[in-house]
Amino acid sequence: MRVQLGCALIGLVLVGCTQSPVARPPVVDASWRATAQDRVQPSTPRQSEVAPPPVRGIDPAREQGETNRVIPIAPVAKIAPIDAPKAERTIPPAVISLLDQADQLRVAGDLNAASSRLERALRIAPEEAEVYYQLARIRLEQGGVQESVSIATQGVELAGADNALKRDLWTLIATARDRLGDTGGATQARVRARALN
Amino acid sequence: MKGVIQFLFKVSLVTLVGLGMVLVYLNAQLTKQFDALSFSVGATVYARPMELYVGHPLTQEALRVELAALGYRQVSERPRAGQYRIVSGNRLDLMSRGHRYADGHEPSRDLRIQIAEGQITGLTDFSGNAVAVARLDPVVLAQLSGSHADRELVRLKDVPTELVNVLIAVEDRQFWEHHGVSLTGIARAAWVNLGAGRFAQGGSTITQQLIKNLYLTRDRTLSRKLIEVVYAVLLDAQYDKSHILEAYLNEVFLGQWGARAIHGFGTASRFYFGKPLGELELSEQAMLVALIKGPSALNPRQFPDRAKARRNLVLSEAAEAGVILTKDARQAQSRPLNVPVRPADRVGRFPAYVERVQRELRDRYSREDLISDGLQIYTAMDPVRHAAAQQGLTETLDALGQQGLDPSREAQGAVLLLDIPTGEIQAVIGGRVADGGFNRALDARRQIGSLVKPFVVASALTRQPDFHSGTLVRDDPITLSLPNGDQWSPQNYSKTDAGVVTLETLLATSINQATVHLSVAIGMDAVLDDLVSFGIPLAPGRPPASVLGVSELSPLAMAGRYQMVFNRGFEVPLRAVRAVVDPNGVVVSPKPFATRQRMPSQVAYQVDRMLIATTEVGTAQRLGQAFPGLRMAAKTGTTDDGRDAWFVAADQRTLGLAWIGFDDNRVANLSGSRAALPVLQSAYRAITRQSRVIPRPDGLRETWLNAYGVDVDADCPGARPHAVPVDSPPPISQECNAQSGQGVERSWWQQWFGG
């Protein structure tokens, strides 16, 4: 269904979408689109009086320098994939030390200093979802509820396969959304947390 | 007779009143100027402290550059605070200085640092106990203090007592007792002058010397001398001695370096010895006191023998006055001058960066508050990277001149380096010369050209979840009717059409027609809306040419847009300032770390990969070739007639942006890859680099596609790795050159659903 809708949207007669055994790559193309010209009409009449600035731009051949071939060729084909599976997650000792210090400061009520330690940890290990979780927790305590949700959301993105951490992050997001009065969003977050049990 | 007496009386009365009025006037002038002078230490702006921990990317060389900038001295014995010792080729012992940071005190500590293959491999104390993480003290970038921006001002309480004692013993022994002028001093001077038959010696007190430095020219006339005496008495009557002494310590002239006058002991300590006043040895303190007599004639860099003789005389006089022990004086006299050949001048060298710092603080602090006493401003500025960026720009502009592309030598540039995950600004270069003039990195508004294309592609990927980097787009002539009735037919510069190209090729080789085809297919209005939501404002009238980059942005704003792409779609507000500590110890973070997702992570990931392809097979190949084996992402940008050359690049952590053009926007025939790319190539060469590695988000899988977007064997010539949506796979073929999935097995989707 999704594929057919996508094909329909770009207005192609796309064999691959129908019963044919032949799969053809779709070609994105403006001129086949009946309404294409309409799409660039102005949304308000006032704008018709404004002449568009001249097109200054973009001059691929010049940018390409010596390479004029459009279709890329072989040399890099054998380079290993960019995202080789992430090795077992180990938090560097420096980060553990800073997380500990931040936790002590947080317990002692010095949220600013705690936050500052976590930002140091973030600079050392910006891929470490645990740091985002701790930062989101501090922001929430500091009253930055929306900021807390955003930081935790990035934490979820980085947590990979660490389901326990993801669950904590979603639970934190749920709490923060509750505080924002976003009951629906909070419930969704709780459902996602529970699904990770 | 009576009349004569009356007349004389009247005359003297008028004279007295007149003199009184002059005195009142002089006094008003004096106090006004002296109060305005206010030697507040001002705000101190610090660079990022160097963090030390196992795994930190760092070279021996970078560490030594840092230690030199901090004025750490190499020793052969066990280091004390502010010293280091090279133990072996890859091991270095140092004693850090300790510093009160915004988040608490970092103690002075002994550290043994082992460095191998570009990172710290061991960190312990001198006894071998592991240290998890430590910070050095931060380099001072600037003092913000009204008119004394290039001075390192000191408070009297921070000046070593020894130095003050030696100074007073040599220059003005009665300082604490006299009333601004010293009668014995004057008598002695008069005696000498009588003998010499001319006005040769001043007999000046410290107060008089201060007056002379502050208000008067250097000529030695008697009237000057009289005014100086009157001022000195007035000043002494109204201000306490320590106030006067502090002003003197910060004002006294101690040297000249080109156009720059070295005023005050704090500045002179840095200038001659490369370290703070508090760390000077007795011999070095005496050298500074010795310079008062004649900063040029006694310049230790130019006239070491004379300087040493005068220094030793100062030490003898101080011992004779009893303020130092004779044996200490002797010991100090035997010390070498210890003046590094090159002045360690770093105050006021980073005007463009400091300007950004001030703007970030503008909302919170008034100009007065900012330069008032004692604010400590901690920033993310990285001196090593800053130097790399400046060097890259200088080299590139020189090369453009030599190649005849900039015969007038008026081309300008801007460079920024950012830390991608934290949004921290590490370097801001505002122009050819770091003179504090027009800050192009922050304030130039220039057409962005092809730098916009990744955002057009991001719009397409966001709105069409089945699109991916192998999706084919038409590349042939296209004409749009504009609202004003004009026809718009964007062209590829090459005047050739590829027919169809993959999205990856569109981005990697920056193809105009295909970009417009794509935009119209998605819906021009929708794409323009998305550009705005990605933070790229449109010119008035929402011109369709926005998809080819007619919007005008500052280099800093543009760097922010790419930060979002390189950070999985999460925008982190850019900041230079980490924290501010006020004199009461209150800590303020004007812009604490924040993040906001503005682009789906799958979309950011795919665009990121296409920009990596740009360094492999596209317009930024030159960068890829410069760093074999290092995976980087990049995008070139060039505007009409080569008025603007742009280049954005990223390794794992560092985003670099360079712009080259002319302030008057003239036709320049520059290009992103020729003019702007070399700036960053040079900058990256000078800093630690890490390959870009980005985990693939859920919903995408890895496969190999040929130039027609067909899933083929990885061994096929020209096949490239792509991430494609799990839900809508591309057609598959066993033919390497297949233009469609003809004659092959159906896709898994078709097999499963009989499609």
**How far apart, in whole angstroms, are the C-alpha atoms of residue B169 and residue B354?**
40
The pLDDT score that the predictor gives to residue A29 is: 66
Percent of chain B at pLDDT exceeding 70: 91
Q: Which of A49, A62, A82 sits opposite B694 (nearest CB)?
A: A82
pLDDT tens-digit series, residues B394-410: 999 999 999 988 888 89
For residue A54, which residues of chain B lie inside 8 Å, CB to CB? 545, 550, 640
What pLDDT score was predicted for residue B203? 67
Residue B88 appears among annotated catalytic residues: no
Residue B428 is predicted with a pLDDT of: 97
Helix, strand, coil % in chain A, rounded to nearest 5: 60, 0, 40
Q: What's the number of CA atoms in the CB half-sphere (13 Å) around residue B708?
A: 19
- Determine phi and psi for B338, rounding to 5 degrees: 65, 25
Q: Which residues contact B131 (CB under 8 A, 6 or more apart)?
A: B52, B109, B111, B123, B124, B125
The closest of B464, B525, B452 to A36, measured between CA atoms, is: B525
The per-residue pLDDT for A64 is: 41
Structure tokens at B663: 């302030």
Cβ contact B484–A52 (<8 Å): yes
Position A46 confidence tier, pLDDT thresholds 50, 70, 90: very low
Pairing relation of β-strands B570-571 and B552-553?
unpaired
Q: What is the pLDDT of residue B748?
A: 35
Kindly list the residues from chain B whose CB atom is less than 8 angstroms away from the CB atom of residue A23: 731-732, 740-742, 744, 746-747, 750
- The tokens describing B469, both together, are 């980097």
Q: Is A115 on the interface with B (CB under 8 A)?
A: yes
Q: Write down the pLDDT at residue A88.
A: 54
Tens of pLDDT along B446-483?
Answer: 999 999 999 999 999 999 999 999 999 999 999 999 88
CA atoms lying within 13 Å on the CB side of residue B475: 27
List chain B residues with CB under 8 Å of A67.
509, 617-619, 621
Interface probe for B, chosen from A10, A15, A41, A63 (most Cβ of B below 10 Å), is A63
What is the C-alpha separation between B96 and B49, in angstroms, rounded?
Answer: 12
In this structure, are residues B469 and B455 in contact, taking their beta carbons and an 8 Å threshold?
no
- Give yes or no for a contact between B577 and B360, defined as CB atoms under 8 angstroms apart: yes
Burial call B279-302: b when 16+ CB within 10 Å, e when fewer = bbebbbbbbbbbbbeebeebbbbe
Would you call A40 an interface residue with chain B, using a CB distance cutoff of 8 Å?
Answer: yes
* E-assigned strand segments in chain A: 27-28
| Mean pLDDT on A22-44 | 46
Q: How confident is the model at residue A1 (pLDDT cuts 50, 70, 90)?
A: very low
Distance, CA of B516 to CA of B544 (rounded, Å): 8
pLDDT in tens, B519-535: 999 999 999 999 999 99
Tell me, yes or no, if A87 comes closer than 8 A to chain B by beta carbon.
no
Judged by average pLDDT, the poorest of A137-151, B92-106, B392-406, B741-755 is B741-755
Tell me if A16 and B750 make a contact (CB, 8 A cut-off): yes
Average pLDDT score over residue span B142-165: 79
H or E element that contains B661: strand B654-661
ipTM of the complex: 0.76
Burial, B48: exposed, middle or buried (Cβ in 10 Å; 0-12, 13-18, 19+)?
Answer: buried
Q: How many CB atoms lie within 10 A of CB A132?
A: 28
Q: Which two tokens stand for residue B148?
A: 């004394």
**Chain A closest-CA separation from residue B570 CA (Å):** 7
**8 Å CB contact of A71 and B718:** yes
For an interface test with A, the pick among B129, B135, B510, B611 (most A C-beta atoms closer than 10 Å) comes out as B510
CATH code, B424-685: 3.40.710.10
Taking CA atoms, what residue in B is nearest to A41?
B483
Sign of CA dihedral B543, B547, B549, B554: positive
Which residues of chain A lie closer than 8 angstroms to B488, CB-CB? 52, 55
Q: A160-181: per-residue pLDDT in tens? A: 889 999 999 999 999 999 999 9
- Alpha-carbon span B557 to B546, nearest angstrom: 16
- In this prediction, residue A42 carries a pLDDT of 32
Higher-confidence position of A40 and B335? B335
H/E run at residue B44: strand B43-46
Taking residues B299-325, what's their average pLDDT?
93
In chain A, domain spans: 2-38, 93-195
The answer to whether B531 and B546 are in contact (CB under 8 A) is yes
**B406 three-state secondary structure:** coil
pLDDT higher at A18 or A157:
A157
Q: Is the full-model pTM beyond 0.80? A: no
Contact B354, B144 (CB under 8 A): yes
**pLDDT at B637 > cutoff 60:** yes
- Cα(B654)–Cα(B614) distance, integer angstroms: 17
As a whole number of angstroms, the distance between CA A109 and CA B1 comes to 90
pLDDT at A20 over 70: no
Give the residue-averaged pLDDT of A29-45.
39
Per the prediction, chain B carries an average pLDDT of 88
**pLDDT tens column, B158-173:** 899 999 999 999 988 8
Position A125, amino acid: A
Q: What's the token pair of residue B279? A: 């760390």
Q: Is the domain defined by B54-132 classed in CATH 3.30.2060.10?
A: yes
Q: Does domain B151-333 have CATH number 3.40.190.10?
A: no
Helix (H) or strand (E) holding A63: helix A60-64
Give the pLDDT of residue B497: 86
Q: Do A16 and B755 touch (CB under 8 A)?
A: yes
- Residue B189 — very low, low, confident or very high, per pLDDT cuts 50/70/90? low
* Residue A41's pLDDT band (cuts 50, 70, 90): very low
Helices assigned H by DSSP within B177-221: 183-196, 206-215
Non-local CB neighbours of B367 within 8 Å, separated by 6+ positions: none
Contact residues, chain A, for B540 at CB < 8 Å: 47, 50
- Amino acid present at B349: R
CATH number of A93-195: 1.25.40.10
Helix B304-321 and helix B326-333: axis angle, to 10°?
Answer: 180
Three-state DSSP at A70 gives coil
Per-residue burial over B308-334, b if 16 or more Cβ lie within 10 Å, else e, is bebbbebbbbbbeeebbeeeebeebbe
Q: Residue B246 catalytic?
A: no
Residues of A in contact with B453 (CB under 8 A): 58
In the 8-state DSSP scheme, what is residue B57?
B
Residue in the block written with tokens 């915004």: B102
- β-strand pairing of B376-379 with B73-74: unpaired
Q: Indicate yes or no: CB of B132 within 8 angstroms of CB of A120.
A: no
Query: Cα torsion at B359, B364, B368, B373 (round to 10°)?
Result: -100
pLDDT attached to residue A127: 93
Q: At residue B95, what are phi and psi to the nearest 5 degrees?
A: -110, 115
